[in-house]
Structure 1
Amino acid sequence: MLNQNKNIRNIVLVTMVLAAIAIRLVNTQFPALSNFTPVGAVALFGGAYFTDKWKAYVVPLLALFISDMMINYLYAGKFTFYNSSLFMYACFMLMVWVGTLIKKVTALNVIAASIVSVMIHWLVMDLPFVYGMPNTWANYGTLLVRAIYPFETNMLIGDAIYGAILFGGFELAKSKYTILRAERQLAL
């Protein structure tokens, strides 16, 4: 019975991740929505809720990879992978890890995790060598300032909105359907 409950919980979690990532495909059609995507919230969500931690990493990263390939195909007409993609996936792995640190889902904990994940993205993705620029403090500072608006601002707003939907939606579902609760929550 517990195994069946775990499978249902995992199916619901995967479905929520895929539905959120699908929104990313729509957002790419509007340049003003650059980085206003659910990917940061999905990484935190996966880290917080998947009880098998390998799934916490694999499900969000696989969904991100598939959506990247679809977006690249839509824009470039081919499946491409950029050098900067490795750094982006590393950032999202760190974001999943931040999600695993959320032991109790509260608005404050999710907001704090969102801020940390945006800071990770901002500090890593704007390293000059990620884009082939000379690795100087001046270049790094310039890239950091340029990224604040719209990129990191949109990411923070996206994490807040999509995080509220994902975390709030799953917490509401858990309160109504005990089958969605983790084994350790059922024991309480």
Structure 2
Amino acid sequence: MDQKFSPRPIVLTLMILGVGIFRVATAQTQSPFVGFTPLGAMALFAGFYFRDRWKAYMLPLVTLWLSDIVLNRYVYFGYWVFFYNSFIWVYVSFALMVLVGQLFKTVTIRNVFLSCISAAGLHFLFSNFGVWLMGCTGTAADILYTPDISGLLSCYRMGLPLLGNLLMGNFIFSAILFGAFEWMQRRYSVLQLNV
């Protein structure tokens, strides 16, 4: 069986790693744009373009994790933190974003637009639920939210600015990632998917 080398997975991988580097290079702790990152777009991008499911999930999640480690050390905590308290909720929500990208089979402006909204909504609902769950247990000093519907709604209300920033990041960075790769596929046929 004659298999030809395809640079497509390498280009996709480099674009995803570039997103991680961009995230680290532009991270700030005090900004009205907290949450405005290319990460959601990266997860959607991987879901849309990688045909191998393990690559679609593994590459964005590993990129997220490695950039988290660097940011935890040099921006947020000042020491090495490999997994923060609510990491599981955030990482599962990013895996759900990849799934959203996989559900939209073809890259069209409409599909990318709808996937950006869906991914931001899923991330908002899932990760804030985890923040609420983690923030209503523990010692009295650790409790951020009441363990009831009022506490959950308060958590979601506090997360609304982040939702807006994530949605804006999804739109802008998806336009960049998807637009760049679609342009590259048209210019270099070797990047097109051979089905």
TM over 0.5: yes
- Match of residue 142, structure 1, among 130, 136, 154: 154
Q: Secondary structure at the match of 2:86?
A: helix
Distance 1:171 1:142, change over 3 A: same
More deviation, 31-40/132-141: 132-141
Deviates more, 1:175-184 or 1:61-70: 175-184
Q: CA deviation at 1:86?
A: 0.7
Identity among equivalent positions (%) equals 35
Aligned partners of 1:27 and 1:33 also within 8 Å: no
Aligned residues: 181
Unpaired runs of 5+ residues, structure 1, are none
Q: What is aligned with 1:69?
A: 69
Stretches (4+) displaced over 6 A: none
Q: Quick one: distance in 1 between partners of 2:150 and 2:127?
A: 15
Map residues 35-54 of structure 1 onto 2, 5 A cutoff: 35-54=35-54
The answer for the alignment partner of 2:176 in structure 1 is 165
Report the CA distance between 1:114 and its aligned residue: 0.8
1:107 to 102, 109, 119: 109
CA gap 1:130/1:114 in 2 versus in 1, 3 angstroms: farther
Deviations 1:27-48 (A, max 9, x none): 3225222000011000000011
Q: Which residue of structure 2 aligns with residue 20 of structure 1?
A: 19
Deviation of the 1:2 alpha carbon: 4.3
Q: What residue in structure 2 maps to residue 87 of structure 1? A: 89
Between Structure 1 and Structure 2, the one with more helix by share is 1
Which AA in structure 1 matches 2:151?
N
RMSD: 1.4
Q: Distance in 2 between matches of 1:19 and 1:139?
A: 38
* Alpha-carbon contact 2:146-2:152 (below 8 Å) kept: no
Q: Which runs of 5 or more structure 2 residues have no equivalent in the other structure?
A: 137-144
TM-score when normalising by structure 1: 0.91
Q: Is 2:133 aligned against 1:129?
A: yes
Instruction: Name which of 154, 166, 170 aligns with 1:155.
Output: 166
